[in-house]
Amino acid sequence: MTDVQAAPALTTITVRNPADGSTAGSVPIDSPDVVATKARALRDAQPEWEGLGADGRKAWLLTMQDWILDNAEHLADVLQSETGKPRTDAAMEPPLTADLLGYWARHAGGFLADRHPAAHSPLMKVKRLTTVYHPFPVVGVIIPWNFPLLNIALDGIAALAAGAAMLLKPSEVTPLSAVEFARGWNEIGAPPVLALTTGYGDTGAAVIANSDCVHFTGSTATGRKVAVACAERLIPCTLELGGKDPAIVLADADLDRAAAGITWGGMFNAGQVCVSIERVYVEAPVYDEFVGKLTAEVSKLRQGQDDDRYRVDVGAMATAAQLDIVTRHVDEAVASGAHVTTGGHATGVGTFFEPTVLADAAQSMTCMREETFGPTLPVVKVADEDEAIRLANDSVYGLSATVWTGDLARGERVARRLEAGAVNINDALSNGFNFGLPMAGWKHSGIGLRQGGADGILKYCRPQAITAPRIPTQKREMLWFPYSRRKARIAAGVIRAAAARGWRRVGMRPRR
């Protein structure tokens, strides 16, 4: 009888282009021991990086910005090879990455500067108050597959600018862009405070186990696991998770702009964006007209495998599993009474799914309640603004939303009633391109934020409070030992005088 031998453990990941199944490259699978070794090296190098100060780090970040722009075409090639994106979508990631490098390089110094808060009481004016920000030594950054290059910049550059070292773990589906980013960091001769680690779930768990702070971008289900793992280690984490972003089209909206904007907001990157428009609520008087315009816009989209000629609008789904989710959502919607006005099927080639509009959708459908992350736009008719807001808020997610109206004051009023971390009026995705604004998820869409000016970099820091005397000190403060009735009454009286309202309360004495 022949002995049965166990299959050898995989040591590499083969990366394939989802558009045609061709091999794009491969990366090693790092064991937990390898991750720990990389983290120790980062920890050794980090103090010198922090010691450069914001200006010293700025020089390296701007040099990396130059490298990104000099290699933009090659980076777009790599992005397309592992994602199946259209050339336009791939070509946008390098300049946006460069833009973020420049933003954090130029603003980090001001954001990280010592702060001197005013004393809350006249009694405290005898102290000079200072808040100092120290970076966490090693920040673990775990990114998803939808923007393999840009997500490094969205989530990791601020950590480097803060003075932390970054332990970067890309998705196993699309690791090649991160390989290129790490190569660039090494090529410019930057300090060894960026380490790339590739692999599956065990590798990601090792990143958490060896980091002092973690940022995770990805699904809500995995985000929960990350949060639990960080809680067990008592380290902070920020989570940028799933979304089910609503669009509200009011009767006074410019319907042509709304149809064009919602088409882009829902179909950009084949709908594989955390802030994609995934459900649309339209006031009844303009519902039929809007559905017609939306259908016309979506039906014109060009889909396929793109080259460098910019001839395609919508590319492939990143994974077969994602294609299955989109197919299920569309099939279940149709079975429940929705009508496909354009699209509705997988193409049968690679992982492509046709850009799809689902008219007469209902709030109970899975395409309205679960995150789809694909090229679908289900549309619901509503009676009025109040119903649109109620249904938009009827979700476990709260990442972003859009409002389309001819009355900006009305748009802002509606925006303030929506349960979402960001609301764009008469536009889609625009908050994500304004780095001074926070990208924060409400409900199951996340914890903490990315970007957001000073908040986006200080999340990677530990605040330290320092007090120092402003006036010459005595040998003992009044409240130091030994206690006595006289000292207690004097101290309490002074504090009451500073805090109380009205002479009667100032003059009250403590009980004997």
Is the Cβ–Cβ distance between 22 and 16 less than 8 Å?
A: yes
**Which residue type sits at 241?**
L
For the chain, residues classed under CATH 3.40.309.10 are: 245-432
Q: Provide the sign of the torsion angle of the four alpha carbons 377, 383, 385, 389, taken in this order.
A: negative
Which residue among the candidates 240, 278, 370, 371 is catalytic per the annotation?
240
At 7 the pLDDT is 45
Nearest to 326 by CA among 294, 351, 303: 351
Which pLDDT belongs to residue 478? Answer: 87
* Alpha-carbon torsion angle 183, 188, 193, 196, nearest 10: 0
Does 371 qualify as catalytic in the annotation? no
Grouped pLDDT means (10 residues each) for the chain, 512 residues:
50 97 98 98 98 98 98 98 97 98 98 97 93 98 98 97 98 98 98 98 98 97 97 98 98 98 98 97 98 98 90 96 98 98 97 98 98 98 98 98 98 98 97 95 97 97 97 91 94 88 67 52
Q: What is the pLDDT of residue 508?
A: 54
CATH architecture label of 37-242+454-463:
3-Layer(aba) Sandwich (3.40)
CA angle 378, 381, 386 (to 5 degrees): 115
pLDDT of residue 512: 52
Cβ-Cβ contacts under 8 Å for 476 (sequence gap 6 or more): none
Burial 333-355 (b: 16+ CB within 10 A, else e): beeeebebbbbbebeeebbbbbb
Q: Does the reported pTM lie above 0.85?
A: yes
Measure the CA–CA gap between 472 and 72, rounded to whole angstroms: 60
Per-residue pLDDT at 6: 46
**Which residue intervals of the chain bear CATH 3.40.605.10?**
37-242+454-463
What pLDDT does 1 receive? 32
Q: Is 370 helix (H, G, I), strand (E, B) or coil?
A: coil
Fold assignment, 245-432: Aldehyde Dehydrogenase; Chain A, domain 2 (3.40.309)
